[in-house]
């Protein structure tokens, strides 16, 4: 591989920056520095760690205009969505700072003839491999929890957002984090494999595709290291016959097209009961037709470009193959002319098994409409997936929707009559080929700690 890498503005196709790619030797030197930082960081008190995370939150808010502009340049997110991402990251840091001392505190347990303590001890260097779609959030999500727990952190970010990768390192340092407690590695996949296997790396967390998850988990398993995986999905949103159809259509389109549909928990498959199918279809098409796409720096633009040319072209191939296999395209479905990696809001109908729109994840602004006879079939189709990250139900009967969500939806998260992205106080993660492990809600702070039992017998 070349020892340099260029980042590209996906709206203009202009080169942004050229970065030097680190060698294995350079990466190993940074791992050692991060391990030495851990030996001191682990001894700090919870309140000291919490104060640094609160300062991190304040700096994110202070710098949100710059961070949002960087996201727009590197991966095409609109400025408004970039600022929303910054606010979520600040809230995560604050929640972690507030809850960390309680979640990580020692617990006392009964012990016959003595007493026992359960202690949550940090383990060392935790390695995160992160994608480009939420370039600040994906990093804050795992790093804040692990730094609060007393671990130190390495980052391998997607190479189209290396500017943000370096900014996060600077952010933590400016907030008061010790030198080398968080470090960014500008590396290729081959060096990343060596990082996973390095004796000083104690755990690996990845957000990405199922294929990436399999590769990383297998490599980590060979050296008996724990992994947390947050992978793809093709989340189903059920529109039941008693739903508020206009509201459902508006929320479903928002959930499908936020971040140009490049979201693991985007609403992707819309499963509609037959009596309201036509009404939902018309409302969905009307909402999709309202969406403007173009220059992401323009405040009127609802959707910027997709992040890379290969991603746009891959999505279009999935649409084309779905149509060849029997789907019908009711809106969009054509790559626009001109510069930039744009893709229009697209609606596919007659979506069925054997089509990418049914079986796979479409990581872009393509809605798949599926007509079903009743609730039982809707639930069966929703769960007829290799994935299990999120999903949703629209219904006037909240109690029955809650029962379906709790007892029958085979996913890690379910929305009822709404669409929510990640929340700092709620666990985030999936099942099946959407991965394993949980982040947020305090759960992430326990993923890479040594849950240690100490038993004291009375003398």
Active site residues per annotation: 230, 264
**Residue for token digits 């994840």?**
361
Pick from 202, 109, 108, 193: nearest CA to 153: 202
What secondary structure letter does DSSP report for 288? Answer: H
The closest of 264, 252, 210, 228 to 390, measured between CA atoms, is 264
Beta strands 269-273 and 366-372, pairing class? parallel
- H helix runs in 225-374, sequence order: 245-257, 277-289, 309-324, 356-359
Q: Would you state the structure tokens that stand for residue 122, as one six-digit string?
A: 């940090």
- Contacts of 42-50 with C-beta under 8 Å, sequence gap 24+, read 42/121, 42/122, 42/150, 42/151, 44/150, 46/100, 46/101, 46/104, 46/105, 46/148, 47/101, 49/97, 49/100, 49/147, 49/148, 49/150, 50/96, 50/97, 50/98, 50/100, 50/101, 50/148
Instruction: Compute φ and ψ for 309, nearest 5 degrees.
Output: -65, -40
Would you call 176 helix, strand, or coil by DSSP? Answer: coil
Residue carrying the six token digits 């029962």? 403
In angstroms, the CA 236 to CA 230 distance is 17
CA angle 302, 308, 313 (to 5 degrees): 95
How wide is the angle at C-alpha 173 spanned by C-alphas 183 and 35, nearest 5°? 40
Beta carbons of 389 and 229 less than 8 angstroms apart: no
Residue linked to tokens 């995986």: 229
Task: Kindly list the distances between the CA atom of residue 147 and the CA atoms of 123, 142, 206, 217, 260, in Å, as whole numbers in the listed order.
Answer: 11, 9, 17, 22, 31
With beta carbons less than 8 A apart as the criterion, state whether 143 and 128 touch. yes
The three-point CA angle 448-142-99 to 5° equals 80
The Cα–Cα gap between 191 and 212 comes to 15
- Count H helices and E strands in the chain, helices first: 14, 18
């Amino acid at each position: 591989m070349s020892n340099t890498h260029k980042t590209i503005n996906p709206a203009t196709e202009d080169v942004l920056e050229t970065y030097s790619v680190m060698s294995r030797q350079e990466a190993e030197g940074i791992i050692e520095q991060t391990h030495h930082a851990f030996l001191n960081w682990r001894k700090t008190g919870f309140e000291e760690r919490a104060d640094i995370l609160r300062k991190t939150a304040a700096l994110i808010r202070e710098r949100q205009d710059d961070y949002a502009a960087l996201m727009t340049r590197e991966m095409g997110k609109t400025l408004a969505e970039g600022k929303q991402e910054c606010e979520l990251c600040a809230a995560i840091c604050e929640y972690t700072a507030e809850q960390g001392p309680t979640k990580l505190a020692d617990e006392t347990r009964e012990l016959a003839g003595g007493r026992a303590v359960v202690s949550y001890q940090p383990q060392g260097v935790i390695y995160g491999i992160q994608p480009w779609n939420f370039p600040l959030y994906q990093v804050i999500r795992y790093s804040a929890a692990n730094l609060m727990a007393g671990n130190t952190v390495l980052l391998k970010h997607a190479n189209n957002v290396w500017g943000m990768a370096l900014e996060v390192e600077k952010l933590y340092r400016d907030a008061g984090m010790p030198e080398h407690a968080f470090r960014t590695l500008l590396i290729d996949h081959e060096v990343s494999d060596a990082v996973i296997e390095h004796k000083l790396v104690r755990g690996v967390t990845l957000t990405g595709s199922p294929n990436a998850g399999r590769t990383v988990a297998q490599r980590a398993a060979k050296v008996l290291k724990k992994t947390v995986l947050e992978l793809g999905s093709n989340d189903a949103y059920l529109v039941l016959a008693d739903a508020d159809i206009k509201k459902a259509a508006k929320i479903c389109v928002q959930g499908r097209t936020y971040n140009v549909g490049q979201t693991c928990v985007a609403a992707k498959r819309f499963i509609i009961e037959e009596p309201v199918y036509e009404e939902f279809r018309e409302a969905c098409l009307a909402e999709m037709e309202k969406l403007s796409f173009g220059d992401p720096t323009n405040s009127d633009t609802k959707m910027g470009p997709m992040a890379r040319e290969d991603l746009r072209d891959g999505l279009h191939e999935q649409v084309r193959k779905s149509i060849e296999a029997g789907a019908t395209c009711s809106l969009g479905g054509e790559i626009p002319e001109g510069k930039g990696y744009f893709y229009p809001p697209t609606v596919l109908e007659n979506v069925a098994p054997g089509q990418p729109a049914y079986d796979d994840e479409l990581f872009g602004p393509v809605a798949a409409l599926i007509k079903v006879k009743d609730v039982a079939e809707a639930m069966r189709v929703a769960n007829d997936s290799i994935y299990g990250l999120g999903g949703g139900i629209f219904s006037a009967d909240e109690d029955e929707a809650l029962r379906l969500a709790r007892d029958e939806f085979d996913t890690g998260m379910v929305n009822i009559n709404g669409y929510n992205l990640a929340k700092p106080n709620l666990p985030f993660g999936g099942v099946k080929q959407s991965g394993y492990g949980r982040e947020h809600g305090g759960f992430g702070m326990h993923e890479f700690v040594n849950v240690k039992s100490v038993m004291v017998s009375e003398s």
